[in-house]
Amino acid sequence: MTRLRIIVAGAGGRMGVANIAAIAAHDGVELVGALDRSGSAAIGKDAGTLAGLDALGVPVSDDATALLDQADAIIDFTAPAASVALARQAAAKGLIHIIGTTGCTEDDDDAIADAGAAGARIVKSGNFSPGMVALTVLVEKAARALADYDVEVLEMHHNRKVDAPSGTALMLGEAAARGRNISLKDNSVRVRDGHTGPREAGTIGFATLRGGNVIGDHMVILAGQSERIELNHRAQDRTIYANGAVKAALWAAGQQPGLYSMADVLGLAD
């Protein structure tokens, strides 16, 4: 059977090494290239060694154009500008592009959708853990059933994380907003400080904590009169995201060009 040829972008990063290890551990896929930013300390190192495995004979490079010609798919957990640039290259070459990068602006997301329309098969998700995607389904249902409860989304991550709220917190907020038939953009409260006045009914609040090496904790609270429901997810290992990304790449191989979510991959989309 032909194996899906995958390039890992951001190979020297926390998720990069997890993605390299997940590809090495899966049947049906092979690592054919590893990319990182020009000037990164990872350039020239063997991808397997970086991931704590035996050497794979795949040196980390900063030359995306040369590597993409030998690949079917890119697994990309990097930074918004890098993901937009790679999406455009994936569209030009008809590649699968799995995007885990968070912190994208609306313009970034529009550019990524355009790349899907122009020939890339993109799966983008703020969280590739199947457990988290299942949680978004529960949050949507709970927000619909408890229509007058206050919804708050709380997240905690390690002290190296650069974007807030997390991509996952925003996914959970979107799920609650879908349950209420409202737009998250028009109803979210991302920051509270000073004399805020009472909580405005119907809004979806966010709280962000950062510290230590926390991989990713998320809680959605639905607070009513005399009771509070707390829906929790705690990531214990980045393998959950990396395995999800490999699963998404294999799934995308059977799809038409376009922009898909992890809910599509798992058959949980509406």
Ligand X SMILES: O=C(O)C1=N[C@H](C(=O)O)C[C@H](O)C1
| Cβ distance to ligand NDP smaller for residue 29 or 82 | 82
Mark 191-230 with x for binding to ligand X (rule: CB under 6 A) and - for no binding. Answer: -------------------------x--------------
> From the list 61, 78, 83, 168, which residue makes contact with ligand X (rule: CB under 6 A)?
168
- How many residues touch ligand X (CB under 6 A)? 9
* Contact between 61 and ligand NDP per CB under 6 A: no
Within 8 A by CB and 6+ apart from 248, the residues are 98, 123, 125, 128, 260, 262, 265
Tell me whether residue 102 is annotated as binding. yes
Q: Active-site residue among 26, 157, 218, 247?
A: 157
User: Does residue 100 touch ligand NDP according to CB under 6 A?
Assistant: yes
127 is in an annotated binding site: yes
With contact defined as beta carbons under 8 Å apart, do 184 and 177 qualify? yes
φ and ψ at residue 59, rounded to 5 degrees: -80, 145
Catalytic annotation on 157? yes
Cα 116 from Cα 106, distance rounded (Å):
15
Binding of ligand NDP at residue 79 (CB under 6 A)? yes
Q: With respect to ligand NDP, which residue has the nearer C-beta, 149 or 218?
A: 218
E strand or H helix at 215 = none
Q: Which of 33, 48, 116, 167 binds ligand X (CB under 6 A)?
A: 167
Residue 78 interacting with ligand NDP (CB under 6 A): yes
- 16 near ligand X, judged by CB under 6 A: no
Place of tokens 């119907």: 202
Minimum CB separation from ligand NDP for residue 18, in Å?
A: 8
Strands 150-157 and 204-210: parallel
Instruction: Give least dist CB 31 to ligand NDP, A.
Output: 16
How far is it, in rounded angstroms, from Cα 220 to Cα 211? 19
The residues, any chain, with a CB within 8 Å of residue 93's CB and separated by 6 or more, are: 68, 69
- What would the two tokens of residue 170 be? 């925003």
Question: What SS3 state is found at 54?
Answer: coil
Q: Please identify which residue in 61, 78, 83, 102 interacts with ligand X, judged by CB under 6 A.
A: 102
Count CA atoms within 13 Å of residue 58 on its CB side. 29
Q: Could you give the CA distance from residue 107 to residue 114 in angstroms, rounded to a whole number?
A: 10
Q: Compute the least distance from the CB of residue 199 to ligand NDP, in Å.
A: 28
Could you tell me which of 158, 131, 162 has the C-alpha nearest to residue 247? 131
Q: Is 233 a catalytic residue?
A: no
Written as one letter, the residue type at 150 is D
Binding at 157: pick from ligand X, ligand NDP, none (beta carbon under 5-8 Å per type): ligand X
Contact between residue 90 and residue 118 where contact means Cβ atoms under 8 Å apart: no
Contacts with ligand NDP, residue ranges (CB under 6 A): 9-10, 12-16, 35-37, 40, 77-79, 82, 100-103, 125-128, 167, 241
Residues that are catalytic: 157, 161
Which residues contribute to the site for ligand X (CB under 6 A)?
A: 102, 126-127, 157, 161, 166-168, 216
Annotated binding site: 10-15, 36-37, 100-102, 125-128, 158, 167-168
